[in-house]
Amino acid sequence: MRIKRSWVPLSAGGVAAVVLLVLGGANQRVSRAAQVRLSDLPPVAQNQRCEECHAEIAREWRGSGHQLAFSRREFQHALLREPRSAQAFCTDCHAPESVRERQGSAPGGETMVSAAAGELGVACTGCHTERAPGTAAESRSSGLGRTAPHAFMGTDGEAGCGRCHEFEFQGKRSHFPMQRTLSEHRAASSDSTCASCHMQRSSGSKHFSHRFAGGRDARYVASALKISATRPTPRLVRIELAPQNVTHAVPTGDLFRRLNVSVKLADGSELHRFLARHFEDTPQGRREAKDDRVHLVPRIVEFPLPPGTQAAKVTWRVTYERVAHLDPQREDEATLDGWSLIESGEL
Among 1.10.150, 1.10.1740, 2.60.40, 3.30.60, what is the CATH number of 218-346?
A: 2.60.40
Question: Taking a C-beta distance cutoff of 8 angstroms, is the pair 120, 95 a contact?
Answer: yes
337: phi then psi, degrees, rounded to nearest 5 = -85, -25
Burial pattern 168-181, b for ≥16 Cβ within 10 A else e, equals eeeeeeeeeeebbb
Closest CA to 66 of 255, 251, 213: 213
Give the distance, in angstroms, between the CA of residue 74 and the centroid of all CA atoms in the same chain.
14
What is the chain's percent helix, strand, coil content, to nearest 5?
30, 25, 45
User: Measuring CA to CA, how many Å separate 206 from each of 21, 140, 201?
Assistant: 33, 12, 7
Determine how many CB atoms are found less than 10 A away from the CB of residue 270.
13
Can you name the residues that pair with 300 across neighbouring β-strands? 240
Give the distance, in angstroms, between the CA of residue 35 and the centroid of all CA atoms in the same chain.
33
Decide: helix, strand or coil at residue 274: strand
Decide: helix, strand or coil at residue 197: helix
Give the distance, in angstroms, between the CA of residue 339 and the centroid of all CA atoms in the same chain.
16
Per-residue pLDDT for the chain (347 aa), expressed as one digit of tens each? 444 444 444 444 454 444 334 334 444 444 444 567 787 888 889 999 899 889 999 999 999 999 999 999 999 999 998 888 888 889 999 999 888 777 765 555 456 789 999 999 999 999 998 887 656 665 554 444 567 778 888 899 999 999 999 988 766 656 678 899 999 999 999 999 999 999 998 778 888 999 999 999 999 999 999 999 999 999 999 999 999 999 999 999 988 899 999 999 999 999 999 999 998 888 877 788 999 999 999 999 999 999 999 899 999 999 999 999 888 888 999 999 999 999 999 99
Question: Taking a C-beta distance cutoff of 8 angstroms, is the pair 173, 180 a contact?
Answer: no
Decide: helix, strand or coil at residue 55: helix
Give the distance, in angstroms, between the CA of residue 302 and the centroid of all CA atoms in the same chain.
33
Residue intervals of the chain classified under CATH 2.60.40 are: 218-346
Question: Taking a C-beta distance cutoff of 8 angstroms, is the pair 91, 76 a contact?
Answer: no
Helix (H) or strand (E) holding 160: helix 157-165
Determine how many CB atoms are found less than 10 A away from the CB of residue 253.
19
Largest CA distance in the chain: 104
pLDDT at site 329: 85
Question: Taking a C-beta distance cutoff of 8 angstroms, is the pair 250, 302 a contact?
Answer: no
Q: How many angstroms separate the CA atoms of 98 and 111, rounded?
A: 8
Question: Taking a C-beta distance cutoff of 8 angstroms, is the pair 299, 259 a contact?
Answer: no
Q: Dihedral (C-alpha) 137, 139, 140, 143: value to the nearest 10 degrees?
A: 170
pLDDT at site 104: 60
The residue length of the chain stands at 347
| 8-state DSSP, 331 | G
